[in-house]
Homo-oligomer: A and B are copies of this chain.
Amino acid sequence: MPDSRTPSGDQPSDQTVPKVVVSRISLYLRELQRLQAAGQQTISSGTLGALLGFSDAQVRKDLGFFGQFGYPGVGYRCDELIHAMRDILGTNHRWPVVMVGVGNLGQALLGYRGFGRQNFSIEAAFDTDPSKVGTVIQGLTIRDVAELPEVVRRLGIRLGMIVVPADRAQEVADRLVAAGIDGIVNFAPVTLTLPPHVETVAVDLAIELEQLSFAVTNKFGKPAGEGPAGAQEPR
């Protein structure tokens, strides 16, 4: 849709960069942050790739989508590359985020330190359960979901997280969209229907287990103790 806001730098639009490249940028960033915390100042594309199981060509090709980085014979300076990657991802700025749903998972997410480390800050959390509204979790007072539009507007919030059961996720998504949210991370195991201007990323906590199941199955065969052949076999 036409929009007066455009990317401010010379970054390509997200339509020209494959999603898988963007997800590898997150992985490179994590690894660089880990290396920097351990005191390392520079790194080569080969070493960075090897630490993550990619070739050096892959690393250079991925970074090539976004510009020229590094120095001949030296490699990359960790601090510069971290800054560049945060620029790419849009996380050199702190993002305020709203969360809807403070069940077990929501409460865990409120205490998850990985968000703050990547510059995301959960500024408000909502629920519909009267026994939760008004309670304080991790320093945040849980609000009634009816207050969502006012809070989103007042705090200038653009990102929301849906952490409610699957059968309530679409209704919550509609509320977030109506409140003016531009992007949604959805933890509910259901596909949302959203207007085209709203970006969404789904989190399904079972998908990683499925991917692991595929990898282990295709390497080793079926689960031990399952199926006719292995039913009584010890491992």
The interface of chain A, by Cβ under 8 A from chain B, is 3, 5-8, 11-14, 19-20, 22-23, 25-26, 29-31, 34, 51-52, 88-91, 93-97, 103-105, 107-109, 111-112, 114-115, 117-118, 120, 153, 156, 158-159, 161, 180, 182-185, 189-191, 197, 199-227, 234-235
Could you tell me if A114 and B206 are in contact, using CB atoms closer than 8 angstroms? Answer: yes
Question: Which residues of the partner chain B approach A94 to less than 8 Å between Cβ atoms?
Answer: 223, 226
Do B34 and A190 have beta carbons less than 8 Å apart? Answer: yes
A214 to B185 alpha-carbon distance, docked (Å): 13
Q: Are A212 and B159 closer than 8 Å at their CB atoms?
A: yes
How many copies of the polypeptide does the oligomer hold?
Answer: 2
Sampled A-B contacts (27; CB under 8 Å): A5-B219, A5-B221, A7-B217, A7-B221, A19-B211, A26-B204, A31-B191, A89-B210, A90-B214, A90-B216, A90-B222, A90-B223, A91-B210, A93-B226, A95-B213, A96-B223, A105-B111, A109-B205, A112-B206, A115-B205, A115-B206, A120-B206, A156-B234, A156-B235, A158-B216, A197-B219, A199-B212
Complex CA–CA separation, A38 to B185 (angstroms): 24
Contact of B180 with A235 in the complex, beta carbons under 8 Å: yes
Assess whether A209 is in contact with B222, with CB atoms less than 8 Å apart.
no
Across chains A and B, which 5 residue pairs bring their CB atoms closest together, nearest first? A90-B217, A104-B108, A14-B218, A105-B108, A199-B215
Complex: A214 Cα to B3 Cα, angstroms: 17
Q: Which residue of B lies closest to A109 (CB)?
A: B205
Residue numbers in B under 8 Å from A112 (CB-CB): 104-105, 205-206
- Residues of B within 8 Å of A20, CB to CB, are 20
A179 to chain B: closest CB distance in Å? 11
Given the contacts A30-B189, A204-B30, A216 and B159 also touching, CB distance less than 8 Å:
yes
Find out whether the CB atom of A156 lies under 8 angstroms from the CB atom of B215.
Answer: no
Beta-carbon contact of A213 and B115 below 8 Å? no
A13 cross-chain contacts in B, Cβ below 8 A: 218-219
